[in-house]
Amino acid sequence: MALLYILHSLLKLAFLCSFWPTVSPLSLNYPAVFNFGDSNSDTGGLVAGKAFPMTQFNGETYFHEPSGRFCDGRLIIDFLMEAMELPYMNPYLESVGSPNFQTGCNFATGGSTILPANAASTNPFSFNLQLSQFFRFKNRAITLLSKDKELLNYLPAEDDFIKALYMFDIGQNDLDGVFYFPASDEQVVAFTSKLISELNYGMKRLYDAGARNFWVHNTGPLGCLPRIIATFGRKPSNLDEHGCVASHNRAATVFNKKLHDMCLQFLAQSPEANITYVNIYSIKLNLISNYSLYGKQAINHFFFFQCFTPIDSDLLSGFQQPLAACCGYGGPPLNFDTRIACGVTKDLNGSIVTANPCNNTAEYINWDGTHYTEAANRFVADEILTGNYSDSPHLRNSPFLT
């Protein structure tokens, strides 16, 4: 009877949708995409570049095997590629499996930073190196195409480098790292300025080389990650009204304000540039703070705001856990233990334990303590595609600055 009631309700809502005004989605039409970033958009770069050991649970929801993504399934960038009707992005560092780069290339790798890597860095593929990889890729592709036009089936055409979309989702690891050393608020602000300067320099290099379409994600609410809460949120006074670490979210907000200002300045100095600034922070914080609205009322949300989006049966239960990790150890409230990562089995205090995934990943926002679930990534991508959180091309009239 319950199932019949749900089906009856869905049919009624579908009928009503035909009369409701729909949200106009963003129109994304590019022949190729080039992405620079960290694990939030890494589609296999770190696994290919460093032979990073990916646990068997990553990718289980959609790919049914590890896919090089730090997630149970798809990332935000995967859903955006679907919206553009383009294939999922192949990582630049992947050499096995005949990767095809006709519609772009992904230079993002997990753990990457905006600032150049040094001897103490866990990942050498920082933003400056990703840029170097891109320029080598571009020059090599153009050279090869000049000799063999059949390679257009595997590489972007030369004109596509101008028409392409250049995406950026990086900076979270820089902000994360600064809190492991004593730093005043003034030092954190100065540090964010350094990050923005480095990012601006890289974007300018791309612009001077012909890039015109830029898509910039600001950073999410860093203080709401279970790993951050478990490490820096032991004192209740360190937490905000959402249960997130206030200092980390303040730093993210400062970074995002400076990032937005940089985009304004970049437009003023680069008359042919088109920039879309995407407010990832607001989307994710809205999901975390109002997760219950996307729980029992998930059906209404999807039908009212996105009648054109099919509903997955796994989403009918909605989000139930705003801050706990799906794949972790320790149970509520965070289900995260800094001593044991998702999928790992080890001896803790004389007991052999495993950090296993939850039964229904669609009920969780966070996947492994640091990264988001496919369900959350899908939600974020859907919100991006409404256009309500994107500012382009007239940034000066922006209604948001976080």
Q: Just list the catalytic residues.
A: 39, 368, 371
Comparing CA positions, the residue from 359, 362, 358, 355 lying closest to residue 376 is 362
Is residue 252 within 8 Å of residue 281, measured between CB atoms? yes
Burial (CB < 10 A; 0-12, 13-18, 19+), residue 171, is buried
User: Is 348 in a helix, a strand, or coil?
Assistant: strand
218: left (phi over 0), alpha (psi -120 to 50) or beta: beta
Give dist(CA 370, CA 287) in Å, integer: 16
Which distant-in-sequence residues (6+ apart) come within 8 Å of 105 by Cβ? 34, 35, 89, 90, 91, 92, 134, 137
Whole-angstrom CA distances from 349 to 19, 253, 332, 352, 366 are 61, 39, 19, 8, 26
Phi, psi of 267 (to 5 degrees): -60, -40
Sheet with 274-278, edge to edge strand ranges = 104-106, 33-37, 165-169, 213-217, 274-278, 390-391
Omega of the bond prior to 66 within 30 degrees of 0, cis?
no
Comparing CA positions, the residue from 370, 360, 272, 347 lying closest to residue 314 is 360
Phi, psi of 297 (to 5 degrees): -100, 15
Give dist(CA 133, CA 93) in Å, integer: 9
> Maximum Cα–Cα distance for the chain, whole Å?
66
